[in-house]
Structure 1
Amino acid sequence: MPRRPFSRLWDHVTKLPQNQIETTPHPASAILTAMFGIVSEQNNDQVQANLNAGQPPKTSPASTTVASTSKCTSATGLPFHTCCEYIWQKCHDNKDESFYLSQADKVFTREAARSNSKIIPLHCQILTSVDDPYFRALLRECNQVYQFPGRDEVSERIIPQMYEVALLKLKDELKNVEYAALTGDGWTSRAADHYMTLTVHYLKDWTMQVRVLQTLKAKVSQTGNNIAAEIKECLTEFSLEAKVDVMTTDNARAMVNATKAAGIKLSLNCFAHTLNLSTQKVMHVPTVSSMLAIMRPPITYFRNSYLAKVVLKEKQVALGKPNHTLILDCKTRWNSSYLMVERFVEQYPAVVAASLKERIKKKDSFKRQQKCSDKDVEKMECFLDLMKLPYIITVTMSSEKRPTSGQVLPMLHKLEQHLADKEEDDKFTKDIKSSIREDLSARYREAERREFLEEATALDPRFKGSAVVPMDVWDRLTNRIEVSESHMSTVLKNTEPDKAVPVPVPHENSDDDTTPVKKPRLSAMEEIFEDEDDDVVAYVETALPLRLRIQQEMLLFRALPKMKSSDDVLAFWQGKVDELPLLSRHAKKYLIVPGTSVPSERIFSTAGDIVSAERARLDPDSVNMLLFLNKNT
């Protein structure tokens, strides 16, 4: 094989003329960093002298970072073309080519591995991608040096190592957490395997943190006791036994029983799921079900027929309607019936105009469609007015980064007011209101849950003056804080090590040292008032009893102006740490508790992308690790 005239290094870098200076960062900066390090301006002259003498520059200790400057300078602080000239001279002589190429290989490998550590956690189908021949061919074109890992290496070495690192990091972070809350829910994959996901919620520097603890495949029947054993094992693994008081779940009886059996004090029902169960009662009202039955056939026709889609788009453009597709409801999807009616009313003029086209009318499948009357449209509009508030509440409660447990009772109160009967209501409206109201009347009536939600609402500065906050809640909070602070002080006293009594050490040659101690010289003012200065006694304020301090903070908090509903509650309490230390510490218990189990539900969307139809047999341990990395890194 003929010898190459130049080094392979020039496949990755470009040699510029002697007097030309590059003005943009060059991709070879990382290579130069590994070879030369970062050289400051102070030793720039020395590096230039070494280059002229044919000696490689000395590497700086900070050679692991890439410097970026406004001028075209390499990682050494020298003009890039100067370093390239030096590399070219050394490689052209075929003396040190192996050294520079080995350094380049290390840089490329390290940078590629660092990129993989960012891509793998976020890529839901990384195991499929690494085996894709077109993807691997693309990588070879981009970088012929780097050997991309295969499927076995990714699944058996890289992902487990990344999982262990992220797991230890989360465990260390949870050790410093004072209070935490859980959410949990179950999910069934395409292969009919049942998984249960647990997420943890806590505050870090007054910022809400949501992390996935585990997504484990169920090996036994998911009864209350079996689920409780899984929850206990998870709490023990992450050292959360004494930090979790509340767990938010759906309304399944097994999950509620498992929470209590696991030693968690309170099981809070998901408000969004509860509201969805109540609104589902509306669909069984005869007038509502007949209204929806009229809508579904034409919606299905316009969604499945290519010709109908084309005609509908033409009419949307002609009538100035948004180019939206009609929506078909799904029983298990929250608010899907509301969205279906909303979209149908929005596109109703375009649907009617498209139905009048001869190309559509002559179709036998369309002739069987039941026509919608103006009275049906009026019912749809009334349905939207009544169901809009439940829809907005569901969307609001699905927030992940803001406290929501204090919003449950105020929103429930708003909903009760919205569903109250009015004189002008017709039978269709009254039937819808009564169906939701009767179902909600039995919700959140348990004393323990109601008290917790009342206390969470009272400590929310947006709703502390709400009608759902009774007057006795402030006495309950005072008692709870007093008990909590007393218990905390007792624990600190028991865990505090005994202070060692200092033993005086005699000074060397103390017996022989007879030099009198020299008194400091007094100033003129000190000489005049020396007798009075000796009689000064420092005034020490007596500490108030704990209960009185709590009551004072309560009065101060209640006197503060009410916040807007859009204000940040966490920012409020962060700013009151010094002014209200007892209340702010106790408020964390309520701020971290989510009002819905949506965080766990959100995990299932990602799980569906990972356990796809082509990868339905993915190992459950791999599913757990991929979900953990995807949500926690």
Structure 2
Amino acid sequence: MWQSNRRYTRFLPPRPSSSETINQALANFVVQAYVPMKIVEHESFRHLMQLLNPQYEVPSRTTVRARIDQQYDDAKKSLLSSLQGSTSVALTTDSWTSNATEAYLTVTAHYIKEDWSMESRILMTRAMPERHTGENLAIRLKDCVDEFGLKGRVVACVHDNARNMDLAGRLCPDWQDLPCFDHTLQLCVKPVMDIPSVADVMSRARKIVGHFRHSTTMTAELRSRRVVMQLPDHDLIQDVPTRWNSSQMMLQRLVEQRRVVTDILLNPRLTGKRDRGLLLTDAEWEIAGDVASALQDLTEATNNMCSDTHVSSSEIYPVVCGLLINSLGCSSDDSALISRVKETLRDELKRRFRPYESETAASIPVVTSLLDIRYKRLNFLTPELKNKTRTALEGMMEEVPLRVHTRDDSQQPPTKRPRFSFLITSPTEATNHEDELDAYMRVNCESDGDPLVWWCEHRQRFPTIAHVAQKLLSVPSTSVPSERVFSKTGRLVTKARNRISHKLVDKVIFLTK
């Protein structure tokens, strides 16, 4: 058949692309699609390329690898140039084990560019065969900082709350060490899941979800019946132990589909006598619904804080204090169990985030709230703590190097010196750091505004504060950017591809971002 297809290649339009252009595109395809390089040796692939361009000679694996190396070198050079133009950089990091039982360490960089757009890049995904001690992790982080020319410009590193990561942070005094918001929130929720009545309902809920997910017949019946019952077209969710919000979502979805789940489990034609015992009692259904509702706002906070494309660290303490005061406040309608759930969450949030302590008020997340036009009033703090935050910002402003303030490039310089140009014409014009901060605080808040857009428009008016804002607003609230690499690399490093070199893994993951 392939022989006969060659007769039709003469009708194809000529391909102007050079062989080198196609080689580069082929290397990019291998990287972006996570396909093995040996695809170039597959007979069907070679036939396809022959059909598309008879003049093109499919390269060897060595050639494709060389092009990937070249693309990596070019991309890294471009990134180094971009990083050199940034005043500061924030990092996230995490370690993990691949499907091929190989350990890796990932580091990502986050910074605000000159045009005030947020940039996030993967710096490295390197094999780490040595023990993951705090000392070894600290050495790897310092080596990464040196490799990318970031020494003295890293403002903070965000990671999970593992002991080895905490130790690594303490061994890197050149930058601030910040815990992951999502991971800390998970630690706050864990004691709730350990309450006996909640734990029992969670266990039974997992069995129900597993019963449906492991049977194609039950799943098909579930989908057909919910259409008849006019329920939302949602499948049941199985929770993941490392993601507490998946447990809340599992309960919420199960309660949503209660009618159809009950209908099927009580049907003797579909469910055996032994499996009918899976069905929750009315009291257990009530617990499932109440716990799902109590944790709803925490799930929303977790999902919203995972982005690496917008400012998030400034929202940490507005969210924490909002949860404490509003979402987890006592209500006369709460059952004894829900009162205990809320009390447990309040105690854990206060213990782990320490929102009402002086040290916290001077921390990077709270100072970023002051720099965020949405939260700069710091309504979640007492007047005393607000002063602590302001003092911390003033100290950072004092560290900003003196530089000549230039006017906006879009404004044309005057052709004639204005009369009495030395006079103070605007009451809000800043003459020193304190005046500049006072003028900034007089600006109205914008609850729906984008802080980066706002600072891009007002950086000339508040140059010193803008310098600090550009430095701190880049700090992410979570280490999720590093964790997202796990799923990418899981598609690349599999048991079937366990011989892929560590250097190639690093380069492919670097190029996919």
TM-score (norm: length of structure 2)? 0.88
Q: Which residue of 2 aligns with 1:404?
A: 312
Structure 1 residues 492-533: Cα deviation after superposition (integer angstroms, max 9, x where no partner): xxxxxxxxxxxxxxxxxxxxxxxxxxxxxxxxxxxxxxxxxx
In structure 2, relative to structure 1, the CA distance for the partners of 1:448 and 1:185 (3 Å cut) is: farther
Aligned to 1:475, which of 391, 402, 413? 391
Q: Which residue of 1 aligns with 2:69?
A: 160
Q: Does 1:453 align with 2:365?
A: yes
Determine helix, strand or coil for the equivalent of 1:360. coil
Pairs within 5 Å for 1:145-224: 145-155=55-65, 157-204=66-113, 205-224=115-134
Counterpart code for 2:387: M
Structure 1 residues 231-279: Cα deviation after superposition (integer angstroms, max 9, x where no partner): 1111111110111121111111222221232333310111011111111
Give the Cα–Cα distance (whole angstroms) in 2 for the partners of residues 185 and 554 of structure 1.
Answer: 37
Q: Which residue of 1 aligns with 2:12?
A: 12
Determine helix, strand or coil for the equivalent of 2:94. strand
Contact 1:460 1:569 in 2 (8 A): yes
Contact 1:202 1:210 in 2 (8 A): yes
Counterpart code for 1:196: L
Shift of 1:549: 2.0
Aligned to 1:321, which of 224, 231, 235? 231
Determine helix, strand or coil for the equivalent of 2:110. strand
Q: Does 1:616 align with 2:464?
A: no
Determine helix, strand or coil for the equivalent of 2:432. helix
Q: Which residue of 1 aligns with 2:303?
A: 395
Give the Cα–Cα distance (whole angstroms) in 1 for the partners of residues 94 and 297 of structure 2.
Answer: 26
Contact 2:9 2:54 in 1 (8 A): no
Shift of 1:182: 0.7
Shift of 1:442: 1.6
Q: Which residue of 2 aligns with 1:75?
A: none
Q: Which residue of 1 aligns with 2:444?
A: 561
Aligned to 2:183, which of 273, 277, 293? 273
Determine helix, strand or coil for the equivalent of 2:108. strand
Q: Which residue of 1 aligns with 2:203?
A: 293
Structure 1 residues 432-484: Cα deviation after superposition (integer angstroms, max 9, x where no partner): 11222222222234865541222111111100113234123223322321232
Counterpart code for 2:490: G
Shift of 1:567: 2.3
Aligned to 1:119, which of 16, 29, 36? 29
Shift of 1:553: 1.9
Give the Cα–Cα distance (whole angstroms) in 2 for the partners of residues 561 and 415 of structure 1.
Answer: 25
Pairs within 5 Å for 1:434-453: 434-445=343-354, 450-451=361-362, 452-453=364-365
Shift of 1:183: 0.7
In structure 2, relative to structure 1, the CA distance for the partners of 1:542 and 1:219 (3 Å cut) is: farther
Determine helix, strand or coil for the equivalent of 1:262. coil
Pairs within 5 Å for 1:248-259: 248-259=158-169
Contact 1:181 1:247 in 2 (8 A): yes
Q: Which residue of 1 aligns with 2:243?
A: 333
Compare 276-285 and 440-449 and name the one that shifted more. 440-449
In structure 2, relative to structure 1, the CA distance for the partners of 1:370 and 1:110 (3 Å cut) is: closer
Structure 1 residues 4-30: Cα deviation after superposition (integer angstroms, max 9, x where no partner): xxx9995433xxxxxxxxxxxxxx4x6
Shift of 1:616: 2.5
Counterpart code for 1:480: M
Q: Which residue of 1 aligns with 2:45?
A: 135
Give the Cα–Cα distance (whole angstroms) in 2 for the partners of residues 226 and 287 of structure 1.
Answer: 42
Counterpart code for 2:94: D
Q: Which residue of 1 aligns with 2:288?
A: 380
Contact 2:116 2:456 in 1 (8 A): yes
Across the two proteins, how many residue pairs are aligned to each other? 483
Shift of 1:548: 4.5
Give the Cα–Cα distance (whole angstroms) in 1 for the partners of residues 8 and 346 of structure 2.
Answer: 76
Counterpart code for 1:580: F
Aligned to 2:139, which of 226, 229, 233? 229
Counterpart code for 1:226: N
Q: Which residue of 2 aligns with 1:552?
A: 435
Name stretches of at least 5 consecutive residues in structure 1 with no aligned partner.
1-6, 14-27, 32-106, 490-535
Compare 586-595 and 134-143 and name the one that shifted more. 134-143
What RMSD over aligned residues (CA atoms) do the two structures have, in Å?
2.6
Shift of 1:612: 2.0
Q: Which residue of 1 aligns with 2:321?
A: 413
In structure 2, relative to structure 1, the CA distance for the partners of 1:389 and 1:238 (3 Å cut) is: same
Contact 2:92 2:109 in 1 (8 A): yes
Counterpart code for 1:168: K
In structure 2, relative to structure 1, the CA distance for the partners of 1:295 and 1:219 (3 Å cut) is: closer
Aligned to 2:422, which of 514, 521, 541? 541
Shift of 1:170: 1.0
Determine helix, strand or coil for the equivalent of 2:131. coil
In structure 2, relative to structure 1, the CA distance for the partners of 1:555 and 1:354 (3 Å cut) is: same
Contact 2:26 2:64 in 1 (8 A): no
Q: Does 1:581 align with 2:463?
A: yes
Counterpart code for 1:389: D
Q: Which residue of 2 aligns with 1:247?
A: 157
Give the Cα–Cα distance (whole angstroms) in 1 for the partners of residues 279 and 420 of structure 2.
Answer: 88
In structure 2, relative to structure 1, the CA distance for the partners of 1:147 and 1:263 (3 Å cut) is: farther
Counterpart code for 2:322: K
Give the Cα–Cα distance (whole angstroms) in 2 for the partners of residues 130 and 416 of structure 1.
Answer: 58
In structure 2, relative to structure 1, the CA distance for the partners of 1:630 and 1:448 (3 Å cut) is: farther
Determine helix, strand or coil for the equivalent of 1:166. helix
Give the Cα–Cα distance (whole angstroms) in 2 for the partners of residues 547 and 444 of structure 1.
Answer: 35
Which is greater in Rg? 1
Contact 2:373 2:449 in 1 (8 A): no
In structure 2, relative to structure 1, the CA distance for the partners of 1:432 and 1:581 (3 Å cut) is: same
In structure 2, relative to structure 1, the CA distance for the partners of 1:542 and 1:237 (3 Å cut) is: farther
Q: Which residue of 1 aligns with 2:3?
A: none
Aligned to 2:332, which of 417, 423, 431? 423
Contact 2:328 2:342 in 1 (8 A): yes
The percent identity for this pair of structures is 28
Contact 2:23 2:59 in 1 (8 A): no
Determine helix, strand or coil for the equivalent of 1:442. helix
Q: Which residue of 2 aligns with 1:593?
A: 475
| Greater RCO (CA < 8 Å, at least 6 residues apart) | 2
In structure 2, relative to structure 1, the CA distance for the partners of 1:123 and 1:537 (3 Å cut) is: closer
Q: Which residue of 2 aligns with 1:508?
A: none
Structure 1 residues 392-440: Cα deviation after superposition (integer angstroms, max 9, x where no partner): 0001100111111111110000111122333332211012112222222
Contact 1:191 1:617 in 2 (8 A): no
Counterpart code for 2:489: A
Give the Cα–Cα distance (whole angstroms) in 2 for the partners of residues 119 and 436 of structure 1.
Answer: 48
Shift of 1:556: 1.8
Counterpart code for 1:612: T
Determine helix, strand or coil for the equivalent of 2:178. strand
Contact 2:108 2:120 in 1 (8 A): yes
